[in-house]
Amino acid sequence: MPTENYLMAVFASRWWAVLLRGLVAIGFGILAFAWPGVTLRTLVVLFAIYALIDGVFSLFSAIGGQRYREHRWLLALEGIIGVWAGLVMLRAPTVTAVFLVLFISIWAMATGFLRIGTAIRLRKEISGEMWLVLSGVLAVLFALMLMAHPAVGMVALVWVIGGYALGLGVFQILLSIELRRLRAAM
């Protein structure tokens, strides 16, 4: 089996992990909107748990099968960054808002570029690469917005993060639907 076909088969067979990542993102987004007056500490813990879970699912998606592991490094790197960001924020939940913005923007920028890279790499193999690209572009735009306005008010930051998580979750769910269709066609 050619490397690209194997990679496509692995990615499509893990459609449910992409779906779970989308559902977790939407759950996080809903919680952020439901608690607009949330304290910085609670926001850090919520986001850390989200980043950690998202990173674990990304790593799980990258692991599987014994051959051609070198072609899943982008997904694995995204998972490592998510786990790292989650653990760092859980270890120090009382960080200032500036550090929170820095951690979130670095994480979003890195995962955004990694998602775009993965979509480019898989563009001939999957029909839903547009959703992966859009989730990456959304992550990069989100990171740039946070870097441009680090002093944004806490309630506004909660709403921006909630909106980002909801958008990301929708894109992940749409991608999982495409991957499930692809798996069924295989």
The ranges assigned to domains in the chain are: 3-185
Closest CA to 47 of 83, 81, 89: 89
171 falls in which pLDDT band (50, 70, 90)?
very high
184 falls in which pLDDT band (50, 70, 90)?
confident
As a whole number of angstroms, the distance between CA 61 and CA 70 comes to 14
Closest CA to 114 of 89, 90, 145, 143: 143
122 falls in which pLDDT band (50, 70, 90)?
confident
The percent of residues above 90 in pLDDT, for the chain, comes to 32
Helix axes 129-148, 97-122, angle to 10 degrees: 160
Contact 127, 185 (CB under 8 A): no
pLDDT of residue 97: 57
Evaluated on CA atoms 138, 140, 143, 148, the torsion sign reads negative
pLDDT higher for 110 or 97? 110
